[in-house]
Amino acid sequence: MKVEKIEVIDFDKKSALQCALKVAKEYFGKTPDRVKYLGGGSFGIAVGVHYKSGRSAVIKFLRSDGMLEKEVHDLKLLKRHCPIKIPSVFFARKRGGGIPADCYGMETIEGKSCLFSFGMLLKGKRYRQQFADQITSALHSIHEYTGEKFGDTMSPECDDWLDFYRPFALSVLKAAERLYVAGRLSRTIIDVMHSAWAKFDVIFSEKVERACLIHGDLNVGNIMVGKGYKISGIIDPLNSMYADREYDLFQFDNLTGKRFFLRETYIKKYGASRYCMQKLAFYGLWNEVYCYIRSGVLVGIIMNPLVKNMKRQLEKI
């Protein structure tokens, strides 16, 4: 995982809709009857393409080179190990021929993201608990698929989790220090990062025994819910790895995740290491700073609770 700013291709929503028409014609033989912008973040833009026949697909454009192969590889790998639907990939297309960004086409998952399904927030506790039960079981099935080595799914090379994670965490800290000096990262954030780094050996004192396959970005935004608020799929892996399985749990507490008891349900069912809560705070904060380094966009509603949580967890050691 390179800790540096990612160059993004100048590609907006309007271009994505136009390109989706062309790409769909290329792969499905016909211009779609309707295209719809579905959403996107710093690096991806998803467009739904629909035909009157009822056929549809989602085309996801990637605004940076070098993401296509991994995203497609990880979707296919995770799909084989997940009991909840993960979209099948129909095709992958490098940029060129009038399309400025790499893209891939995939199966449409019914419904919408749990993050934007406001009815989900109002569901009773029993329902939300069931939801957590299903999601955590599925995630655990993914985690049960283990590798010999730790690291990126496409090239796992490390014998030990910390051989992989410590250099990464240090690079993030160094990049954060440079941002602080440049006046682009607050004193509060860099101070708490230094306090956490000083406790690294305690937080990570328990050896991670198994190199578990992880989704890498399973927050509520990447869980889809369909009719009757039934879970319809899991999408959008990012930084999938063979890793400490607890690395997959910090995303559960981001955004509205806590309302669904996801992290606590996973831990109740499958156990946790001694310093799990400190590790999750560390993983969460470091990941968010890493995202900021790569995208240049600091998302306050995610970053601020992570900073507070790191402080709180450090006080408990």
Ligand X SMILES: Nc1ncnc2c1ncn2[C@@H]1O[C@H](COP(=O)(O)OP(=O)(O)O)[C@@H](O)[C@H]1O
Residues of this chain that bind Mg ion (CB under 5 A): 221-222, 236
In this structure, the number of other CB atoms found within 10 A of the CB of residue 53 comes to 8
Total residues in contact with ligand X, by rule CB under 6 A: 19
Of residues 210 through 239, those in contact with ligand X by CB under 6 A are: 221-222, 235-236
What's the closest the beta carbon of residue 173 comes to Mg ion, in angstroms?
Answer: 26
As a whole number of angstroms, the distance between CA 235 and CA 69 comes to 16
Of 41 and 147, the one with the shorter C-beta distance to ligand X is 41
Among the candidate windows 28-36, 91-99, 106-114, 183-191, which touches ligand X by CB under 6 A?
106-114
Q: Is the dihedral of CA 122, 124, 125, 127 positive or negative?
A: negative
Output the CA–CA distances (angstroms, integers) from residue 55 to 17, 112, 180, 231, in the order listed: 17, 18, 50, 21
Are residues 264 and 249 in contact, defined by beta-carbon separation less than 8 angstroms? Answer: no
Q: In the beta sheet, which residues pair with residue 112?
A: 225
Site string for ligand X, 122-161 (x = CB under 6 A): ----------------------------------------
Contact flag: residue 41 with ligand X (CB under 6 A): yes
Of 111 and 151, the one with the shorter C-beta distance to ligand X is 111
Listed residue (82, 42, 80) closest to 62, CA to CA: 42
Of residues 179 through 198, those in contact with ligand X by CB under 6 A are: none
Chain centroid offset of residue 125 CA: 26
Of 152 and 217, the one with the shorter C-beta distance to Mg ion is 217
Of residues 48 through 67, those in contact with ligand X by CB under 6 A are: 58, 60
Of 64 and 222, the one with the shorter C-beta distance to Mg ion is 222
Contact flag: residue 38 with ligand X (CB under 6 A): yes
Are residues 236 and 43 in contact, defined by beta-carbon separation less than 8 angstroms? Answer: no
